[in-house]
Structure formats: structure tokens, C-alpha cells
Structure 1
Amino acid sequence: MSDLSRRRILRGAGAALAAGAVAGCIGGDGEGDGTIDGHLSGANNYDGTVVDMTGESEVTVAVGAGNGLAFDPAAVRVDAGTTVTWEWTGRGGRHNVVAAEESASEFESDLAGGKGVTFRQTFESGPQLYFCNPHRAQGMYGAVAIAE
């Protein structure tokens, strides 16, 4: 390999690293977004958007949304101290909300399938990562980011 080819490769690698560093500085909407993206990489109903619901004292997430195997919204950003209420749609069978191992808190709802069932949790820090245990393999994941 010639010196010119090596320089081109190194210059290209350097440009890629610099672009990644800049994207890392400007690409996220807050702390934990990279963790959330990783957790939700195969999630149903997640398009990379963390729905901003800061300023709300209570936020509702549908359980069994879409085809019955999704949370809606899949990812939400709230202020510390906000209560998140998960409300079952009655679709997709029996669901629960279980904190993932990487979550900042531990929480777990009962397994339920009826429409209108609710589970509430108030978060002070994040990120909060969760899934539905019976439908984990089908991509039923969600996340709550806590704004700083």
C-alpha cells in the first residue's frame, strides 16, 4: 500500500471519528438517549423519537397499542417527579410492565389483560427502561427519559 493510500484511509477514518463526535454532541435530546436507543432498537412502535412531555404532571402510556404488542408512546421524556400511568387497551393478550436490568429503578406491574387496567410509577431519575415480559421476544419495549 502506498503512502498516499494510507493517508486517504487515515483521513477518512479521522473524518468519520470527528463526525461521530459532533453527532454525539448535538444528536441527542438529553441524557440517556443513547441508552434508550439501544434498549429500543428492536421495539415495536419506536422510530427513534422520544416524545417530549416535560411540563406535564402526569403522563399516560398505552399498553397493547397498535397491533396489541406495543407501548404508545414507546419512549417519552418527562420531568423528575412526574407520574407515568400505563393504561391497558385490552388488545394483545395479558401484559405487564417490568423494569429492565439497565433501568435506573426497579418496578413491576401485575400481569393483566383487561381494558382500563392501570399501573402508576413516579420517577426521580433515569433512564427508565422496561418491557412486557410475555411479549419481550415480540419487541414490546418502552422507555422513560428524565429531563435534567
Structure 2
Amino acid sequence: MNDERISRRRFLRGGAATLAAGPLLAGCLGGGTGAEGGQTTARGDTEPNDRTFDGWLEGVANADTLVDRTDASDVRVRVGTEGNGGYFAFAPVVVRVSSGTTVTWEWTGAGGAHNVVAEDGSFRSELTGGEGTTFSHAFDASGVSKYACLPHQSMGMKGVVVVE
């Protein structure tokens, strides 16, 4: 009977230690929140996105995540990925980069002809469906850049580059 109590005590002590360490481990694993209340992640990671960017991403498939690529000087976005009822999406839809980063859009060859056109007119690619075609734009100033594929914009083929 004495051995049973020792085992139970050891078990309870181990459980209490695990519970006490839980919040400490959660902080180390990136489960905390940043100064603006958003979830913090390591660079290159994906985090939840709850911003619609003034309604630009309302109803856009796969817009619920943001990819942090502030660690890269060249970032790739795929054009013609699955979403919005076919191959009418960008991947990632929302990407965060550092000022001075070049974003290169690369066509998958799926979904017909696509283009990449900034809402504010600051960049515009040719309309093409060729797999492997690329278009690049350097983002030198902080801010939000909204863009779309004009033929499929009404279907939700839109994206956002957030520049820090």
C-alpha cells in the first residue's frame, strides 16, 4: 500500500510540473501575441490573417493565412493555383515582405490566361497562360499593395503584398 501512495505522489508531482511548465513552453513555441494582438510567428511561417484590406479579400479563397517572408530578398507567388472554384488563385494570397524585396509571380499553366495587375496601377504583367512564365516587381516602400488577375478578379483571384 505504501508503494501505491509513492507512485501516486510521483505521478501527481509530475503532472503538476508539466502543468506549471505549459505556459512557459507556449511562450517559447511562438504561441504568444504581438503588440497589435496578432499571433507572432517565426519568419517564413504562416499565421492567421483576419484582415480583408478594406474588403479587397472578402470572399477570396485561402485569404485566411498570411505568409511572413520578411527574411527573404526574393519571394515567389504562384499564379493559377487551386481556389475560387478552379485554378483562379494566387499562392500565397497574402504575403508580408521587407522593403526592398522583389516579388516574382510564377505561372503554373493552370486555369487559362492570367495576369497580375496592381489596384493602384503601379505594376502590370502581360496576360499569359504559359507555365513557368514569371513577372517581378520590387517593393521599395512600406505599405499595402493589392493586386488581381483582371480576367478572374470577379471570381476572387486577388492578392496582397504587405511591405514593412
TM-score in terms of structure 1 length:
0.72
The residue matched to 2:156 in structure 1 has which SS?
Answer: coil
Question: What per-residue deviation string (whole Å, max 9, x for no partner) do you get for residues 100-142 of structure 1?
Answer: 14xxx61110000010000000001221100000001110000
- RCO comparison, higher one (Cα < 8 Å, 6+): 1
Partner of 1:98: 117
* Counterparts in 2 of 1:73 and 1:37: CA distance versus 1, 3 Å: farther
Asked if the contact 1:57–1:82 (Cα under 8 Å) also holds between the matched residues in 2, the reply is: yes
Question: What per-residue deviation string (whole Å, max 9, x for no partner) do you get for residues 12-39 of structure 1?
Answer: xxxxxxxxxxxx942488xxx8463631
Q: Distance in 1 between matches of 2:54 and 2:132?
A: 29
Counterpart of 2:100, as a letter, is G
Matches within 5 A, 1:111-130: 111-125=127-141, 126-130=143-147
Matches within 5 A, 1:45-56: 45-47=62-64, 49-56=65-72
Q: Does 1:132 align with 2:149?
A: yes
Counterpart of 1:26, as a letter, is G
Q: Distance in 2 between matches of 1:38 and 1:50?
A: 16
Please identify runs of 4+ aligned residues in structure 1 that moved more than 6 A.
none
Matches within 5 A, 1:1-148: 25-27=36-38, 34=51, 36=53, 38-47=55-64, 49-66=65-82, 67-101=86-120, 106-125=122-141, 126-147=143-164
Asked if the contact 1:44–1:141 (Cα under 8 Å) also holds between the matched residues in 2, the reply is: no
The residue matched to 1:96 in structure 2 has which SS?
Answer: coil
Q: Distance in 1 between matches of 2:51 and 2:78?
A: 23
* Counterparts in 2 of 1:35 and 1:137: CA distance versus 1, 3 Å: closer
Unaligned runs of 5+ in 1: 1-23
Question: What per-residue deviation string (whole Å, max 9, x for no partner) do you get for residues 45-93 of structure 1?
Answer: 211x221011101000000011310000000000000000000000000
Counterpart of 1:81, as a letter, is G
The residue matched to 2:115 in structure 1 has which SS?
Answer: coil
Instruction: Give 1:44 deviation, angstroms.
Output: 2.4
Aligned residues: 117
Unaligned runs of 5+ in 2: 1-34, 41-49
The residue matched to 1:40 in structure 2 has which SS?
Answer: coil
Find the structure with the greater CA-based Rg: 2
User: RMSD of the TM alignment (CA)?
Assistant: 2.1
Counterpart of 1:135, as a letter, is H
